[in-house]
């Protein structure tokens, strides 16, 4: 499994494109309908938002050593970033001159939060639920 964090934005985009492949994800055609620059910007902004949600510990929140993927298949902060990226794209008004570029200043995303009342979309939230701790007896 490829680890998402610590990769370049181009590598992260390739991982997100694979995650959203139409054969793997029902929203794959929507994701691929956006331009490369829009998808990259949405991933960067989503990563910042989820990092805040996880109290600044996004990269260490996903460690195969701490939480092996086989033991915690539903704890995937990398997938949460990708889902949040699509949510940002789907809810950003690109008719404005500044379009997705306004996300860099958080202005447009703040508008999304104010109008929808959503900080993280449900699809992203499902991937960052803390795994339950197994207690041995």
Task: Give the span between the Cα atoms of 105 and 26, in whole angstroms.
Answer: 30
Task: Return the higher-pLDDT residue of 2 and 118.
Answer: 118
pTM: predicted TM-score of the whole model, two decimal places: 0.73
Residue 25's pLDDT is 94
Q: Does the pLDDT of residue 15 top 60, yes or no?
A: yes
Task: Return the higher-pLDDT residue of 116 and 12.
Answer: 12
Residue 74's pLDDT is 74
pLDDT 10s digits, 79-125:
999 999 999 898 876 544 444 544 445 555 566 566 655 578 888 88
User: What element of type H or E holds 124?
Assistant: helix 122-125
Residue 130 corresponds to which tokens in the numbers above? 């803390």
Task: Give the span between the Cα atoms of 116 and 91, in whole angstroms.
Answer: 9
pLDDT 10s digits, 20-73:
999 999 999 999 999 999 999 999 988 888 877 776 655 555 554 455 555 666
Residue 2's pLDDT is 47
Residue 115's pLDDT is 61
Sign of CA dihedral 106, 107, 108, 109: positive
In sequence order, what DSSP letters do the residues of 13-71 get, joined into one string? Answer: HHHHHHHT-TTT-TTHHHHHTS-HHHHHHHHHHHHHHHHHHTTT-HHHHS-TTTS-TTT
Residue 52's pLDDT is 77
Task: Return the higher-pLDDT residue of 7 and 94.
Answer: 7
In sequence order, what DSSP letters do the residues of 81-117 get, joined into one string? Answer: HHHHHHHHHHHS-TTSSSGGGGGGGTHHHHHHHHHH-
Task: Give the span between the Cα atoms of 5 and 77, in whole angstroms.
Answer: 9
């Amino acid at each position: 499994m490829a680890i998402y964090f610590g990769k370049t934005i181009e590598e992260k985009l390739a991982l997100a494109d694979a995650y959203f492949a139409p054969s793997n994800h029902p929203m794959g055609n929507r994701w691929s309908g956006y331009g490369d620059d829009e998808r990259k910007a949405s991933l960067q902004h989503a990563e910042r938002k989820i990092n805040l949600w996880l109290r600044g510990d996004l990269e260490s929140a996903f460690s195969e050593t701490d939480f092996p993927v086989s033991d915690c298949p539903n704890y995937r902060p990398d997938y949460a970033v990708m889902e949040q990226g699509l949510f940002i794209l789907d809810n950003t008004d690109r008719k404005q001159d500044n379009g997705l570029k306004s996300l860099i200043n958080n202005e447009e995303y703040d508008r999304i939060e104010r109008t929808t009342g959503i900080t993280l979309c449900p699809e992203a939230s499902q991937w960052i639920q803390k795994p339950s701790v197994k207690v041995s007896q």
